[in-house]
Amino acid sequence: PEEGEAASARAGEGPLPSLKIFKEAREREYIERLLRECGQDVGRMIEISGLSRSHLYALLKKYAPGA
């Protein structure tokens, strides 16, 4: 069911997902876009996102472990 909730959170359709599911879906989308735009340039990722290095690495580990 969580996978379906995440899809609903992305699509903006269907039943309202929990805040946790919604937030995770948006974070994943953001990290994926950040990777597309910055490649492996961590300094640029930090500059664009405003995240600390440690927070960025935590999100990369969570949503893009192979990056």
pLDDT, tens digit (0-9, with 9 covering 90-100), for 22-40: 999 999 999 999 999 999 9
Task: Supply φ then ψ for residue 33, to 5 degrees.
Answer: -65, -40
Residue 32: the pLDDT is: 97
Contacts of 31 (CB under 8 A, 6+ apart): 59, 60, 63, 64
CB 64 within 8 Å of CB 31: yes
Label residue 62 by pLDDT band (50, 70, 90): very high
Q: Residue 6 is part of which domain span?
A: 2-63
Domain count, the chain: 1
Share of residues in the chain with pLDDT > 90 (%) = 76
pTM for this one? Answer: 0.77
**What single DSSP character describes residue 15?**
S
User: Which residues are CB-contacts of 24 (< 8 A; sequence separation ≥ 6)?
Assistant: 6, 9
Assigned token pair, 38:
């910055």
Give the pLDDT mean for 52-57: 98
Average confidence (pLDDT) over 32-60: 97
